[in-house]
Amino acid sequence: MLSRNQLATLLRDTVYAGVRFEVEILKARTVIEEWATSKTLPLKPQVDPPSLDQVRLLQDYGDQMRSEQNKKGESDHAAIARALVLKIQSVRAAKTGVQLEKGKPVSPDGKPRAYILDSIRHPAEVALLRHVYQDAFLLIGVICEEEKRIGRIGSKFRDAGRPAALEFMKRDADADEKHGQHVGDAFHLSDYFIDNTVDRVKNGQANADWDVVDNLSRLIKILTHSELVRPTVSENRDASRTQRSNAERVFVATGWSCGDRRDW
């Protein structure tokens, strides 16, 4: 969540072709809840602090979305991403003043806009978004070392002790079912990597070692060519993908993948 909000703030402050970016954050949670409502499935009420039970239910519904068969009788493992594509189309139509018609595309109008999708959980979703948005699409892999993530999950959720956190992380990374969550596979398809292991606050003060904003700022400079930036090995797996001329961008986060940084 933090990296997503920081990225949105940085983009809104970025000038491209003399105009600042308009930014929209679209959540996978929203399309899953809408799908569940359309199926008259129950949703758990929001509580504070949040509960892992709420997240597990959304995981279950997301799996069900990906398991639904299409007209060819095949499961659509990109179903959530497909719903997010329709969300982008709807937002774009509203911003460009175009009447939204089913089955008809809504073309960008050249104004700089960024859509941040939070987040994807399956490599099929990456494949679909790359196919639809091509060079305007960029996947950001956010990594957090395992022990740190266990601690953060325990602090965030009221019912997340260590065993529950480990079970949740295992399902998130690589579920048994093909239509389940496979963040680990999607993570390695990322174009750009951010390490969010370091805490933003240390001993009640801002932590000078927390560099998420600096790394996101570098990414934006690389994409918009606003400054000459020498990319590091971990910043982009294919330098040619930074040559993006479309004023619209689609940024997607993989969520929190745990592992050794040598796996990047």
What structural domains and CATH numbers belong to the chain?
Answer: 2-263 (3.40.50.300)
pLDDT at 1 exceeding the cut of 80: no
- Residue pair 153/51 in contact (Cβ under 8 Å)? The answer is no
Q: What does DSSP assign to residue 239?
A: G
Closest CA to 106 of 248, 258, 259: 248
CA 116/CA 124 separation, integer angstroms: 18
The pLDDT tens digits of the residues spanning 102-134 come to: 888 898 898 999 999 988 899 999 999 999 999
Nearest CA-CA partner of 56 in 159, 125, 185: 159
In this structure, are residues 27 and 83 in contact, taking their beta carbons and an 8 Å threshold? Answer: no
pTM of structure:
0.86
Helix (H, G, I), strand (E, B) or coil at 142: strand
Higher pLDDT, 89 or 172: 89
| CA distance linking residue 80 with residue 124, whole number of Å | 10
